[in-house]
Structure 1
Amino acid sequence: MSRENKTMYTLLGLLMYSPLTGYEIKRTIESSIKHFWQESYGQIYPTLKKLVDQELAVVHIEKVEGKPDRKVYTITEQGRQEFINWLEKPIEKIPIHKNELLLKVFYGQYLTVEQNIEQIIQYRQKMEDILQTLNTTEQFLISRKKDDPHFDYWMLTLSHGQSIVKATIQWCEDSIDILSNK
C-alpha cells in the first residue's frame, strides 16, 4: 500500500481558504500550522504541479509590473471533494514522534547527571518559548478572529499544542527533580 501524500491535503486545505501562490502557501504554514505541521518549498512546488495535473487545482498567471509573474493556484470542485473525502476518513495510525532529547535521555547513563540536567533545562527553555508563542497566537486570534467561522477549530488545534507543551514543561521539571536527587 502506498503512503498517502499528506502534503497534498495540506495544500488543498489552504487553498480552501483562498487562491495562493507557492510562496504564500509557505508563509501561511509558517504563520499558522508550523507547530504541528511543516512543509518545505521542495514539497510544496512539486505537489502544486501534481494538483494541477490531477485537476484538483488550477493555476493562472498574474502579471506584476517590475516583478516576475505570479503563479496563483485555486482549488477546483474536484479538489474540494478530494479534500472533504480525506477529512472524513478516520486516522488509521498515529505517527511516531521523533524527539532528540528523549533519545539522548534514553542513553543518558553515558553522561553525567549534570550534563543530562543541562540538556533538559535547555529543552524546557525552548518549550517555554514555544508556549509563549502559542499564548501570543491565542491572544491574536481572540482579539481579531473571534467571528471567523474557523475560530473554534483554530482554537482547538492551538489548545492541543498548549496542552502538549505544558505537559512537556512539567515532564522537564519532574525529570530535573528526579535527576537532582540521584
Structure 2
Amino acid sequence: MAQSKHHQTIRGSFLALAIMSGIAVAPQTASSADTPVEANNRQFITQAFEQWAAGGTSFFTDVLSPDIVWTIEGSGPSAGVFRGRDAVIQMVRPFASRLSEPNRPVSTRVWADGDHVIVNWEGAGRARDGQPYVNRYVWIFRMENGQAVEVTAFLDLAPFDEVLRRVPAPTSQP
C-alpha cells in the first residue's frame, strides 16, 4: 500500500531524530516495500560513499547538483547555507587543504525514504600537524533526477573548526 506524503515525512523525521539522538535503529535495507526511487537513491548514495572511502576524490561533483543548497546546521563559523556546488566546494577546500590524509568515510549507515536519503557516517583523516581528525556526521540528501539538490549536514563543528584554527593554511607556491 502506498504511504501518504505526511506519513513519509513523519517517518523520515523520526529516523533523523533517532540518528541524531543516538537511538539504535537498524539501517533500512532494500525490500519489496521500497519504491524504485528509494532503491535507486539509496544505491546511488551508497556507491558514492563506497567510492569515496576507497580513495575516490569526485564525491561532491558526482553527487551534488550544480544548484545544490547545502546547509550545515549548528552554530560556529562553519555553520551556514551554501548555494551552488562551487560554493560547497569552496567551503570544503580550506578544511581539506589542512589535512595530510583526507577525511574519508570509515563507517556508514544509509536509509532512504522517498526522495530523501539519510547517511549516518563516521569520517577519519589526519591534519597536516599530525593530529587525527575524527568526526561523526548525519547528512540528509533530497534527491532529484539522480543528483542531490538539497543537503542538511549535522556534525560536531568543534573538531572541524579546530582544524581550521589550529593548522595553518598552506602557502601558495609561485
Same fold (TM over 0.5): no
TM-score, normalized by length of structure 1?
0.25
Q: Tell me which structure has the larger Cα radius of gyration.
A: 1
Looking at secondary structure, tell me which structure has more strand per residue.
2
Greater share of residues in helix? 1
